[in-house]
Amino acid sequence: MLNSLAYSQYTVSEHLWSSADEILLVRVIEEKPELWRLITTCTSDVIVQIVNTYKSTRFASDVKNVIFARLYDCSKEPIASNASMLKKDKRYIIFLLSKEPSEVEIAEEGKKKIYSLSDLALGILEYNDQLEGFLKSKQRAKH
59-111 pLDDT tens trace? 777 878 887 777 666 665 555 555 556 888 999 999 988 776 566 666 666 67
Confidence check: pLDDT of 51 > 90: yes
pLDDT, tens only, 28-42:
998 776 666 666 666
Predicted structure pTM score: 0.77
2-19 vs 129-142: helix axis angle to the nearest 10? 50
Report which residue type is found at 33. P
- Give the integer Cα–Cα distance in Å for 26 and 112: 19
pLDDT score, position 121: 79
